[in-house]
Amino acid sequence: MINQMITETRPDTLHRGVKMALDTGEADTVEAAYTLFASYRMAIGLGPAGGQSPAVQAALLTMINCGRRALLGGVEVIGDLRVPLLVDLPGLGDTLGDAVVALGGIPRIEPSPKTPLTWLGDGAPAKTLQVTFGDWRGGVFVAGEGERLAEGANDIPAAVLAGALAVAEVFQRLRGNPMAGDRDVGLSLWDPRAPWRTGSGPATWVAPSKLWVLGLGHLGQAFLWILGLLPFDRPANVELTLQDFDRLALANDSTSILTNVDMVGRLKTREMGAWAEARGFRTRLVERRFAGDITLSEDDPRVLFCGVDNAEARAALEDPHFDLVVDAGLGAGPQEYLAMRLHTFPGPVTARTRWAEASIGRTAEAKVVATATAYKDLAGRGLDDCGLLEIASRTVGVPFVGVIAGTIALMEIVRRLNQGPSMGVLDLTLRDLSAMQGVDGQVPKRFNPGYTSLHW
């Protein structure tokens, strides 16, 4: 697959993580950029009895799913994988070992030399990166230099968050951030602005039963991943309206965690609908662009999650009059790819005000990027100016950022169903979570979108 990406370098094939090495000038050629990312790898240690917890399994599978797409050198897994698979995701087999291999993990007895080691559960060697979670909180710290949280078997959203944060720390360390992997960092999904070790929420809660998911790429698939991991009592009570108009491309495999290369060329709605149906959810598909010209019926979901990078569509998010809209957006470029921003509507500003002027500066930035050495090399191989500009304009992306944003977005909806705090705007970067900023949200006058129970 990597050879195909290199030999057929086009906007719809270029790996979105590898692209950052082109844009920064670190790599003089596409081949050199892929070689750099092939040197990135990580190992995950699974402590004794760790595989007997659904939440630990959810964290492990999230780490593998994100890690194999961002770190082209591979994700090694050390520990006993001969245990039943306890999370109900389709197509992963019967055992945890089956699932690890299906998602691209590499079972090993011990990690390869000089491979960064993260750890789930008991028995972490000193100075490794310990993953921990509890109720609504997830994070990482250096083993031996902090305390683990309770790590309850059903604390799945917090476990997914912690797993994605672990991959983020390893990736940043490999990319030259000296603090990453050597710090205590985490987040509370109950109160994101609170210190992560103190921002706890209720032990039991209900989940939404009807959702409209707009955009089925990087963010939309991350949102579905965490939704699919939740332990619903009756998955058939969950009804999803899935909207997109696009087909999957090879580049989607680098960021979108429900995509594999066998899906290339197929409609996103069909593939994600099939996955959701296999999970036991009910689905409806909308295969056209979102323009705000939707008249909601009584049967339609009243909550919309938006994961599209299109200013015109986002400006129209409030036009259909959903009771709640949760929009997630990610930073672009090799410096801002770790950033994310959450908006909810109704909120402090309207969607149309927020995205009134579309795509300002995007073309100019792409023209600057296209002057980097690797782009000149592509031009020398015959790629025309239009093709260069199109590649340069594509955003840099890594899957763990989308998973964290998708988890925060889903739990924003869950918090409101469970009388928790609401956010109007949340702005953060994984480069430094202490710089997070947020604005309180508005509680809609009418908010009864339907809910369903989970197995506790």
Q: What single letter denotes the amino acid at residue 150?
A: A
Instruction: List all residues 6 or more positions away from 14 whose beta carbon is below 8 Å from its beta carbon.
Output: 5, 30, 251, 391, 394
291 exposure class (CB count in 10 Å sphere: 0-12, 13-18, 19+) = exposed
Q: Are 224 and 214 in contact (CB under 8 A)?
A: no
356 exposure class (CB count in 10 Å sphere: 0-12, 13-18, 19+) = exposed
Distance separating alpha carbons of residues 138 and 168, to the nearest angstrom: 13
Q: Are 102 and 262 in contact (CB under 8 A)?
A: no
CA 455 vs CA 156, 234, 235, 359, 397: distances in Å = 12, 9, 11, 44, 34
Q: Out of 295, 386, 434, 445, which one is annotated catalytic?
A: 386
437 exposure class (CB count in 10 Å sphere: 0-12, 13-18, 19+) = exposed
Tokens at residue 159, please? Answer: 């476990």
- Tell me whether residue 66 is one of the annotated catalytic residues: no
SS3 assignment, position 45: strand
297 exposure class (CB count in 10 Å sphere: 0-12, 13-18, 19+) = exposed
Sign of CA dihedral 238, 243, 247, 251: negative
Residues noted as catalytic: 386
